[in-house]
Amino acid sequence: MRKSSALIHPVILCGGAGTRLWPASRECMPKQFARLVDLEQSTFQATMRRVAEPGLFARPTVIAAAESRFIVAEQLAQIGLPADIVLEPQGRDSAAAVAVAALHGARTDPEAIVLILAADHVIGDAEAFRRAVATAAAAARTGSIMTLGIEPTRPAADYGYIRRGAALSDDGGSRGPCAVERFVEKPDRAGAERLIAEGALWNSGYFLFRADTMLAELETFAPDVLAGARAALEAATTDLDFVRLDAAAFETIPKISIDYAVMERTGCAGVLPVSFAWSDVGTWDAVWSVLERDGDGNALRGRVEVIGTRNSLVHSEVEGLTTVVGLEDVVVVTTPDAVLVASKAQSGRVKELVGRLRAKAHPEADTHRRMYRPWGWYQRIDIGERFQVKRIMVTPGGRLSLQKHFHRAEHWVVVKGTAEVTLNERVALVHENEAIYLPIGSMHRLTNPGKIPLELIEVQVGSYTGEDDIIRVEDIYGR
């Protein structure tokens, strides 16, 4: 076992909305938390597991958007892995996050090795990944800011490239750590082919560095980013299990990527070529390409039937049937409130579609039908002129805020588990197949005092059933 200071400190960046994977990925549930590639776990959870190797890695740090905090906590609890959770009040691009990561790592040890990971990548071979990280860490210990450079498998026009320079050590040769000669922006296809012929690598966005190395480079090339990050961390508050960066300080940080701010300017950039299967699953086309496919080249998930269809992805998250007849190279995604049908080749344009949906104020652009909350989730199942019906799930121990509504009464029918309902001065237990009525204006609170999830059907009746008709009097989650 290495001594603690030799451990690598993983920092997982969880920002980003993943709009190109709409409608499965949306701002309220970005792709890193969705179960898109592996139906058993999100890519965030897979990333956490990849760095759960006590002999190699220290306790990870997760940097996430404040709105994602309950999803992060819930998904960590599901896999039973602990992490420090640092919340960004808003997205300020990757330089800010890397600066926070370096400062956070330096608190343990100025020479701590920090590994920056994206939460939304798919990597085929976790063992090969860890071997590569250990090799790159050795180069980082001598003062390089290392990246992992993926050996290209096709002339991709949607990745940045890295041209290798001289070897950093004698033993690896061109297979070992090299200096970076140049970072190249996303090329066109011909440019990509030329770069690959010259031995260039894909820029994976993984970085390894000694905290003090990165802090020195930030001081030189992006002092305002560093100053803002330092101030935001110093004035941070701790709220439940979260470290909340100070909003006022954080919003002074320029929005810039770590590539522009440091990597393209530093003299310390190094790259380790790696050849494990990797994808940033940025588009539905990319999702299709990492999934297992049947003899017709189709990846089919959920209740799906196809005839005469080839090389297509059909991903259903709904109870009903999704069917495809006589098509090739298409993507079909069905969710409870939105359906996407796209040509695989043009699936990158989904981002443009989401922009259009936002411009037209379609709520499906950003919010999911099922809304996750610290206490569980709710999902609208029907809506009419003067009513709305929701299914509500409360986790054991979960407790909604003490609240009231001005424009709607609510009927709750418990269909699973037991509810503890506060209604004005009364507290009652409501069991499966029992109902309770909450008149307009009454003060009420819902708690799951039991050991199994509580599920209930809520029928709201009134002249207005919007989410904003709520007065929260008390809330254990600090909302």
Q: Is 334 in the site for a copy of itself (CB under 8 A)?
A: yes
How many Cβ atoms from other residues are within 10 Å of residue 250's Cβ? Answer: 23
Which of the stretches 27-35, 82-90, 203-211, 405-413 binds a copy of itself when contact is defined by CB under 8 A? 405-413
Q: Is 323 in the site for a copy of itself (CB under 8 A)?
A: yes
Distance CA 465, CA 424 (A): 21
Provide CB contacts within 8 A for 171, sequence distance 6+. none
Q: How far is the CB of 323 from a copy of itself (least distance, A)?
A: 5
**Judging by DSSP bridges, how do beta strands 84-88 and 242-244 pair with one another?**
parallel
Question: How far apart, in Å, are the Cα atoms of 449 and each of 107, 373, 418, 429, 437?
Answer: 40, 17, 7, 9, 19
CB 331, CB 313: distance < 8 Å: yes
Number of residues lying near a copy of itself (CB under 8 A)? 62
Q: Under DSSP, is residue 356 helix (H, G, I), strand (E, B) or coil?
A: helix
Phi, psi of 428 (to 5 degrees): -130, 150
Distance CA 113, CA 141 (A): 7
Q: Quick one: which of 81, 402, 459, 476 contacts a copy of itself (CB under 8 A)?
A: 459
CB 424, CB 364: distance < 8 Å: no
Q: Quick one: which of 295, 326, 425, 478 contacts a copy of itself (CB under 8 A)?
A: 326
The token duo for 465 is 């059933």
By C-beta, is 197 or 325 nearer to a copy of itself? 325
Which of the stretches 47-55, 286-294, 316-324, 396-404 binds a copy of itself when contact is defined by CB under 8 A? 316-324
Q: Is 341 in the site for a copy of itself (CB under 8 A)?
A: yes
Q: Is 339 in the site for a copy of itself (CB under 8 A)?
A: yes
**Run of H or E including 305:** strand 304-307
CB 305, CB 287: distance < 8 Å: no
Q: Is 411 in the site for a copy of itself (CB under 8 A)?
A: yes
Q: Quick one: which of 94, 203, 322, 401 contacts a copy of itself (CB under 8 A)?
A: 322
Q: Is 381 in the site for a copy of itself (CB under 8 A)?
A: yes
CB 147, CB 206: distance < 8 Å: yes
> Hey, which residues between 8 and 47 contact a copy of itself (CB under 8 A)?
23
Q: Is 461 in the site for a copy of itself (CB under 8 A)?
A: yes
Distance CA 125, CA 88 (A): 31
By C-beta, is 212 or 337 nearer to a copy of itself? 337
Q: How far is the CB of 442 from a copy of itself (least distance, A)?
A: 13
Q: How far is the CB of 344 from a copy of itself (least distance, A)?
A: 9
Q: Quick one: which of 138, 457, 469, 477 contacts a copy of itself (CB under 8 A)?
A: 457
Q: Is 362 in the site for a copy of itself (CB under 8 A)?
A: yes
Q: Is 455 in the site for a copy of itself (CB under 8 A)?
A: yes
Q: Quick one: which of 360, 426, 451, 479 contacts a copy of itself (CB under 8 A)?
A: 360
Provide CB contacts within 8 A for 3, sequence distance 6+. none
By C-beta, is 226 or 436 nearer to a copy of itself? 436
The string of DSSP codes covering 48-115 is: HHHT--TTTB---EEEEEGGGHHHHHHHHHHHT---EEEEESS--HHHHHHHHHHHHHHHH-TT-EEE
How many Cβ atoms from other residues are within 10 Å of residue 15's Cβ? Answer: 21
By C-beta, is 134 or 383 nearer to a copy of itself? 383
> Hey, which residues between 283 and 312 contact a copy of itself (CB under 8 A)?
303, 305, 307-308
Q: Is 336 in the site for a copy of itself (CB under 8 A)?
A: yes
Distance CA 139, CA 177 (A): 7
Q: Quick one: which of 347, 401, 403, 448 contacts a copy of itself (CB under 8 A)?
A: 347
* Residue listed under structure tokens 């969880």: 14
Q: Is 385 in the site for a copy of itself (CB under 8 A)?
A: yes
By C-beta, is 251 or 382 nearer to a copy of itself? 382
Which of the stretches 61-69, 72-80, 109-117, 344-352 binds a copy of itself when contact is defined by CB under 8 A? 344-352
Q: Is 437 in the site for a copy of itself (CB under 8 A)?
A: yes
Distance CA 84, CA 75 (A): 13
**DSSP one-letter code for 347:** G
* Residue listed under structure tokens 């390409």: 289
**DSSP one-letter code for 476:** T
Which of the stretches 227-235, 241-249, 418-426, 428-436 binds a copy of itself when contact is defined by CB under 8 A? 428-436
Q: Quick one: which of 170, 171, 319, 425 contacts a copy of itself (CB under 8 A)?
A: 319
- The footprint of a copy of itself (CB under 8 A) covers 23, 303, 305, 307-308, 319-327, 330, 332, 334-343, 345-347, 349-350, 352-353, 356-357, 360, 362, 364, 369, 381-387, 389, 391, 409, 411, 413, 415-416, 432-433, 435, 437, 455, 457, 459, 461-462
